[in-house]
Structure 1
C-alpha cells in the first residue's frame, strides 16, 4: 500500500467502527503526528464526506482539534443529524404517497443502511434519499414527486418530462430537489448502472422493513444481497470516496472472521467476488477490519485483486484525498472507469460496460437522430466520451452515487 498522509490516516482512524478502545487508540496515535495539518484534515473530511464519523471519532478519543476545526466539525455533524431526521419524515411522506398511488417501492442505502450499520442516524452522511421503483411505474412516481413539491434537476431541461422514462432506461436514475427543504431524491429504475454486474439486485429480490424512526419503517433490501450490493456499488464507483467503504466495514463490524469469509463466499457465488475482495482488503488496510490471516493471504494472492486495490487507492487517496474530482466523467477517474471492466468475468458483462460508456442518454431520450439512424447513437456517444477524456470537451453525466 502506498504511503498515506497524516491527515488521511487520522480520518481513517476516526472512521473505524465500532466505538471502543481500539478506535480511541488509533485516533490518538494519528492525531499525535507532528506533521498533521488540521486544515487539510477538514479538506479530506469534506472530500470523503465523513463529517459525522470524524467528529464522533475525535470526540470519543478526547482529541481537541483547533477551535475553528472543532467548530466546523460540530456544525456539520449537527447538520447531518438534523437532516437525516428530517429526511426520515420525508421518506414516510413520499412512501405514503407511493403506496396511495399503487407504486411498488424500496428505500436503500442512506437511512436504512445507517440504522443497520451504525445503529443511529447521527454519524452517516447521506447526500440524498435513494428510492427504487419499477421501470413501468416511473411516470407515476415522477408525478408523485412533483406533487410532493420536488423539481427535477437531473437530467436537465434538455430532456422533457415525457422523455424521463426513456432516460431512466439508459441511466437508471433521475435527480429531484425540493426547493423548500433542499432535500434530494434520487429516483431509481434499477439498482446497478450495469445490471450485468449483479443482476440479482432488483425489486424482485427478498425485502424487509427497517425502522428509521420510532414512527417510520421503510421497505429495503434483504440481508441476503446487502453485502454483495454494497461491494458491487462501491467497486463500480472505484471506491473514490471512503464513505462507501466505511459503510461496508461498519456493517461487518459485528461479524467474526468466519462470518466475514462467509459473506465473501456468498458474493463470490453471485459473481462479484472481485468486488468483495477489493472491499475487504481496502477495509482491512484502511479501517482495520479484522480478517483471518489465511483468508487475507487468499484474497491478496490474485494479481487482479491487488490491482483493483491500487486502482481504488489512486482515486480515493494520494493527490485525490482532499481534491474533488471534476465530475463523474473526469479524466482523473479513468483508472476506476477502466477498472470496472475487471470487476466481473465474462464478455457479456464487459460488453455492457463498454456500451454504457457510449450510452448517449440525452440524444437517445430526446430522439435527436432521424428514424432509422438509431444505430449511430453509440457511435456519437463513444466519440463524445473519447473527446471528454482527452480534454477536448467538458463532460456532463448523472451523479455517481451520493
Structure 2
C-alpha cells in the first residue's frame, strides 16, 4: 500500500468510516474487536441508506451476515438481506437479457462490447450477486448503430432519448441513447462512444482487439480489456466525482484481480488520451480509502499535484447522498460540482471542449431558422446567436 497521505479523512462521517473499514477488512469480527467505537453511537438508518447509495451492500451483506460478533443490529441485517436478495434477482435477470441481446447481435454480425453490468460482477467479484447494476451498457461501432437500434425495438424496447442535432453533432456530443422494455422494465444504454465528447478516445476497432470474452456468459459476450477497462472506469468515476464508493471498489477489485492492467501499457494508454491526472486521482483514492496495493510502476501517476488535488476534492461528496445526474442539486453541491467537473479535463480536452462550443447547436437553428443550403452560416453566427440567447434568456443549449 502507498505511504502517501494526500487525503484528510477526518471530514468523513462515522457511517462512511465504518463502510470503508468494512470494505477494507479481511475479517469483519477482527474489525469489530479492534475498532468498537465505529459500531457505537451510529446512525444505523443512515448507514443503511449510505450502503444503498454507494451500492456496496451486495458485497458487504454476505460478510456481515457471517460475523460472530453481534456488532450490527439484527434489524439492520434483515434490511440489508432484503436488498441483497432483490439485487441478486435483478442481476440474474440482467445477465439473462445480456446473453440474449448478445446472441441476437451476433446473428446480425453486429459487434458489441459490454461496458458494465453482470459481466463485471462476475469478472471483478467472481459472483455477479456481489455487484449492483441498474441497466445494461454496451458499445457498438457507429456504422452499426442504426441496426442495433432496430434490433432493440424488434425485441420490444422503446427508445427514450431523442437528440436534437443540427449538423450531426450528436455523434460526438452524446455517447449513448437509452432504451427501456415496457414489460421487463430493463434499461439498456446503447453506446457508440465510451464517454461524452468532445474528447479523444479509443476507436471501436482498437477496443475490440483488446476485448475479452466471458466463459460464464458465452463467446458472444465481449467486455473491455484490462487497460481499457481501467481507463473507462477511472474516467467514468471521475466524471461523477466518485460519489459512489462502488465505482472505486470496482477499481480495487480490478487491480487485485487475476488479470490486472499492465502498468507500461496502461501508462501509455493514459498518456495518449490525456487521462494521466484522472488515473492518478483514481489510484490515490483506491490506495488511501480502500487500502489498495498499487504497482510501483504506477506511482508516478499518484505524484502528480493535479491528481492529488482532484482526489482531495472528492471527499466533499462521500458523506453526501447525492445523484449528480439528477438536478436540482443543493446550491452548495451544484457550486462545488460546477468547479470540479472542468478541473478533471486535460489542457487538450479543455481545448476540444472550447472548440466544441463553437460548433453549432440545434438551439441555433431555433433562434435563427435557415434553409439547409445555408447551414454553414451557423458557424460564424454561433457566438452571436449564443450571446442573444444568453442576454434574452430565450433558450438554453442542448
Q: Decide: shared fold, TM above 0.5.
A: yes
- Find the counterpart in structure 1 of residue 55 from structure 2: 49
Write the distance in 2 (CA, Å) between the matches of 1:186 and 1:98.
15
User: How far apart, CA to CA, are the structure 2 residues paired with 1:47 and 1:74?
Assistant: 16
CA contact (8 A) 1:207 1:220 kept: no
Aligned to 1:307: 309
State which drifts further: 212-221 or 143-152. Answer: 212-221
SS at 2:52 equivalent: helix
Displacement of 1:57 in angstroms is 3.8
Q: 1: distance between equivalents of 2:388 and 2:33?
A: 51
How big is the shift at 1:367? Answer: 10
Corresponding residue of 1:202:
204
Match of 2:3 in 1: none
Range with bigger deviation, 68-77 or 171-180: 68-77
TM-score between the two structures when normalised by the length of structure 2: 0.79
Q: What corresponds to 2:21 in structure 1?
A: 13
Q: Report what 2:351 is aligned to.
A: 351
Q: Does the 8 Å CA contact 2:227/2:261 hold for their aligned counterparts?
A: no
TM-score by length of 1: 0.78
The C-alpha deviation readout for 1:36-81, integer Å capped at 9, x for no partner, is 1110011212222222123234234445533442222111111221
TM superposition shift of 1:308: 0.3
Match of 2:135 among 128, 136, 139: 128
CA distance in 1, matches of 2:266, 2:102: 33
2:181 to 153, 178, 195: 178
Pairing 1:85–2:89 present:
no
- 2:46 aligns with 40
Aligned residue for 1:339? 340
Structure 2 SS opposite 1:190: coil
Q: Secondary structure of the equivalent of 2:182? A: coil
Deviates more, 1:230-239 or 1:281-290: 230-239
Q: Compared with structure 1, are the counterparts of its residues 190 and 173 closer, same or farther at alpha carbon in structure 2 (3 Å cutoff)?
A: same
Aligned pairs (5 A) from 1:182-331: 182-194=185-197, 196=199, 199-200=201-202, 202-205=204-207, 206-211=209-214, 213=216, 217-254=220-257, 265-270=267-272, 271-291=274-294, 301-314=303-316, 316-318=317-319, 320=320, 322-325=321-324, 327=326, 330=329
Residue 94 of structure 1 deviates from its aligned partner by 1.3
Segments of 5+ residues of structure 2 without an aligned counterpart are 1-7
Q: CA, structure 1 residues 148+54, in 2 after alignment: closer, same or farther (shift >3 Å)?
A: same
Q: Distance in 1 between matches of 2:95 and 2:365?
A: 33
Alignment of 1:75 onto 2:82:
yes
Q: Does 1:111 align with 2:118?
A: yes
- What's the CA shift string for 1:299-321, capped at 9, x where partnerless? 5544312210122222x324x2x
Shift of 1:32: 4.5
Check the 8 A contact 2:176/2:190 in 1, yes or no: yes
SS in 1 for 2:204: coil
SS of the residue 1:213 aligns to: coil
Q: CA deviation at 1:100?
A: 2.5
Runs (4+) of structure 1 moved beyond 6 Å?
292-295, 356-362, 364-368, 377-387, 392-397
Instruction: Single out whichever of 46-55 and 357-366 deviates more from structure 2.
Output: 357-366
Cα offset for 1:251? 0.9
Structural RMSD (CA): 4.0
What is the number of residues matched between the two proteins?
378
Answering whether residue 158 of structure 2 is matched by residue 151 of structure 1, we say yes
Q: CA deviation at 1:242?
A: 1.6
Residue aligning to 2:30: 25
> Aligned equivalents of 1:224 and 1:385: distance in 2?
42
* Map of 2:378 onto structure 1: 374
Give me the whole-angstrom Cα distance separating, in 1, the residues matched to 2:308 and 2:140.
36
Q: Do the aligned residues in 2 keep the contact of 1:132 with 1:189 (CA within 8 Å)?
A: yes
- Alpha-carbon distance, 1:117 to partner: 1.2
Match of 2:147 among 140, 145, 154: 140
Tell me how far apart the structure 1 counterparts of residues 108 and 249 of structure 2 sit (CA, whole Å). Answer: 36
Query: Displacement of 1:374 after TM fit?
Result: 3.4
